[in-house]
Every structure is written in C-alpha cells, then in structure tokens.
Structure 1
C-alpha cells in the first residue's frame, strides 16, 4: 500500500465529508479512495471512519489520527517545496478560483508574464461570483472580494478596490446628470446581485464621515460583472461598479463618472487557501506573483 496516498485520501475524505467528493478532488475513481481507506484501517487495526449510506463521520481514533496526519503531510510538502529544484523550477497544475471581473480584466492580461517566468506551471482558472468550497472542490487558492467569513480558511489581503458611479453619455443626455445620491431614486439604475437570485447590492455613498446605503428600484438586475458593465455601456441605467472594471471605458469616454464629491465604498481583496494544505512551490509562486501584480496597480493595491 502507498501509505502517503492512503493518508492523503483519508484527509480528503474527512475534509470533503464524502468519498465521492474526495475522489473528485483527487481525480481518482471512488473505488480507489475506498480501497485505500480500507487498507489503511486494516493496517492500523482501527476504524477511522463511520460510514452510512448518507454520511461519513470520523471516529474518536480517526480524529486523533487526522490531526497527526495533517501535520505530517504538511511537513512532507514543506520538504518537497523547499528543495532547490522545486523553488528554482516549480511545475504542475494549480486550481485557482477568482471573480469574473478580476479574472478577465486583471489576471488574463498579465498571465503571459507569469508563464514566461514559470513555463512548467499549468493553471486551471474558474471564474464566477459564487462562493466555492475550496476543500470539496479541490481548489488550491481563491481570490475573494470583501470579507472572508469562512473562519477555517487562511486569508491574506492582496489588495483593495473602490467603486465608481457612472453612466453612458447618451443616457445622461436623455435623463440628465444627478448632482446628489437622492436623485438616483428618480432615475433608471442597474443593480448587481452577488449571486443568482440574491438581493442587489445597495449603492453606497459617504460625505463628511456620514455613510448612506441606497436600496434602489432598479430597472434591471444582473449577477455577472461583465453583463453589469455592458448594461452601463448600453445606456440602460446608472451603475456603481468596481473602479478597475470601468476605468478603460471612462478613459475612452464611453462612461462618465458621477457624484465624485461623494466617496463610494471600498472592498478588500484576499487570496485564501485551506490551512491544512501547505503551499507547494507552484502555489507559492503564483500567490507571490498576484501580490506583486496587485501592488503595481494604483487602483488595486492594498490600502
């Protein structure tokens, strides 16, 4: 039996909660995970997991074994990633999750530079606005906007971004230009929902240390940042979008910033990863790269 493979399978089952999810994250058949766990229990002469048709729970002995195995696997990963060859020439596939706008407008234009520096690293990049389960879905690291509320995850702030309220020139010609946030209630606006079926984010403004949220009756609500920008460009309404996502359109005169005397909200950006997965060389160099990438951007650097 490959003891390291069996230990890794056991840890994934505990973290994912099912054999099926663990097998998916390891990219092996479910039967392989089952066989590894069975052989591990037979070799140790102790039951590590309680199995039912609906769930998998850890036995008291399994919980103790899990804590020790996690530390051992972390040490082994540390040894591997700290070798001169691994640090000099990291290789392999990493699975990264990021918001759509960050992936499209920030990561994609710069990835060629990353590949020139690390040609043997492969990236599987998932873009979307849903909250993914890093452990269950086998994601090595994720970029998250806003607060990180999963207490078991390690979060490192890599940047921050502000919002800009804006509209297309044709829209302003037809409807007029608001001079205060209150006037937005009488104008067509577009809302952005953080997830499908979720409540649209309020427009937020602050002035003289006073902050106000404006829950508006939007004529259109979308749950995708690319669609949100497209709606603004199409003169469908006023939008309040991440500044980095509209800066090119503003520079080109396709959108006009509004209410600039009122400060608009800011969000932190974090890279997150599970604490029980020591950062391998390939993941470490990717995180170091995005930290530098965001630091070089005046509108995304950490505040």
Structure 2
C-alpha cells in the first residue's frame, strides 16, 4: 500500500523507488502483487509515465487515510517509551539556513540527540513528494495548492550601508535620493532582473528600479558587498540583524516602512508527521517566534 501511494504521488516508479530506498524492480513487483490480490488494475503504465485508473484513484483516497491512521497508532504507542529518532530531510533558502537555522541547530541536537537533519540549501522549489522531503522552509507566498503551509514568521526589508559609505556619500533622506548614490542589487537567479527597492507610502507601494553598480544573486554575498562599503542595500531584516546590532551597518530611511514577506513551513498533506518531523517543525516555529528579524509583528 505504501509503495502504491508513493508511486501515485511521485508520478513514476523510479522516483517512488528512490524515496523508498528500494530497487525499481521491487516497487514494480509490489504493485503487481497488490493488483493481483485486489483483482483490479490500479495504474496505467507507459514507458514515460504512470496514471491512476478510476479504481486506483478511489483506492488511493482510502489507503492514504488508512496509512495515516496506522502511523498515528504506532507513533502514539511508541512515543511513551521512545524518544524521537531518525533522519529528517529539510529544504531551506540558503540565507535562512546559514543565518538562522545553522547558528541555532546545536540547541535542537541538545534536546533531540537521536534526530539527524539532512538540510538541502538553495533557492530552488523542490518537489517534496517526489524527492521524499519531509518539510521545507519557504519564503514568499505558497503557490503549491496541494501542500500544507503553516505560517511561522515574516520579515520586512532593511535599507542600509556602512558608516564609512554614508560618510563618503551622504545619508539619503527620501527613497528618491537613492538614485543619486551607489546601490547594490539582488536578483533571484543568475541573469534575472534585480528586485526593486520597495517602500510603503500612504497611497500604496513605491518601487524603485535603480541602476545598481553591482548585482548579486545570493543574500550572503549581498551582505558581504555592503560590508565592503560598495553601496546601499535593501536586504531581509533577518540577514542584516547582527550587522546592524554590531554597528557594521547603519539603517537608513527608517521612517519609510517596507512590505512584509511571509515565511512558511510546508509539507505534503498525505504524509503523516512522525515524531521526528513534528519536533523539528515545533523547534523551527519557536526559533522564528523569538528571532527579531523574523517574528510576526
């Protein structure tokens, strides 16, 4: 049953086999055996894809609930005597991983020494089901309709530069004065368009498409460029929080607020949250709640 569910969700036998750590042939035999026992065809197979038959779709809906209930029963029975253990596969944006999660991860291991974390770092939109990922930390609005999304925080943007840069170029008093000073741009991907600097106004939002002297596609490098006094940046508050607190960066245009960006933890709806995944998500929620640059206002 579990193999069948994984094939339906992954879309191919190969991807399902990878997430189950089983040979492709084994998964094929399991599905064939299941169909023989039920005396009904559950899947249509071609060389390139797998589709669900009407009977398979009905069977899938009931089996998903059954497997979730079974996992719940087993977990409830074992949690009273066993601590969470095993490996949790997590995906996160690079900046949140390096600046927020990794510096605090020692406390998670202290509380849950038997849980290992496999942290995928990058800005790609991973397919959680097909790749066997337990949960992901996503920045921005969630577009995948089939995923469970729990909002765990938000951040605004901070506009700033080093004291050395501001002493040499002056401090802007309005957003429009950014056009008169060197700025640094951040883009989503190599070769893409740099994000505009955004501010809130009484009539809505103001977006400035600036002519940057330098454009980068990584938040950590973006911060490094600002610390090298190369220009004014507008970066997520969580990324510059420590630099501002230490005085390495000075915020500017503080009377001008910026739009907020939500952060969610997401996971597949048909995958039961085991104890190891649940404690990691609870820890992430608590971590974001106390972080000055990420907690919800």
Q: What TM-score results when the alignment is normalised by the length of structure 2?
A: 0.94
**1:283 corresponds to which residue?**
277
CA distance in 2, matches of 1:199, 1:88: 51
Q: CA deviation at 1:87?
A: 7.6
2:238–2:292 Cα contact (<8 Å) kept: no
Q: Tell me whether 146-155 or 232-241 shows the greater mean CA deviation.
A: 232-241
Q: Quote the Cα distance in structure 2 between the aligned partners of 1:89 and 1:44.
A: 38
Are 1:58 and 2:52 an aligned pair? yes
Structure 2: runs of 5 or more not aligned: none
Which whole-Å deviations, capped at 9, do the CAs of 1:81-112 have from their partners, x for residues lacking one? 22253685111111011111211111112111
Q: Distance in 2 between matches of 1:279 and 1:96?
A: 13
The correspondence for 1:101, drawn from 95, 99, 109, is 95
Which structure 1 segments of 5+ residues have no match? 1-6
SS of the equivalent of 2:129 reads coil
Q: 1:86 to 1:289 in 2, by over 3 A?
A: farther
Q: Any residues of structure 2 matched to 1:1-303 within 5 Å, and which?
A: 7-85=1-79, 89-208=83-202, 210-303=204-297
Q: Which moved more, 1:163-172 or 1:115-124?
A: 163-172
Moved over 6 A (4+): none
Secondary structure of the structure 2 residue equivalent to 1:83: helix
Verify the 8 A CA contact 1:87 1:281 in the aligned structure 2: no
Equivalent in the alignment of 1:3:
none
Task: Provide the secondary structure at the position in 2 that maps to 1:33.
Answer: helix
Structure 2 CA distance for partners of 1:46 and 1:140, relative to 1, 3 Å: same
In structure 2, how many angstroms separate the alpha carbons of the residues matched to 1:100 and 1:86?
A: 36
* Separation in structure 2 between the aligned mates of residue 299 and residue 111 of structure 1, nearest angstrom: 17
In structure 1, C-alpha distance between the alignment counterparts of 2:214 and 2:81, rounded to whole Å: 49
Between stretches 268-277 and 217-226, larger displacement belongs to 217-226
TM-score, normalised to structure 1, is: 0.92
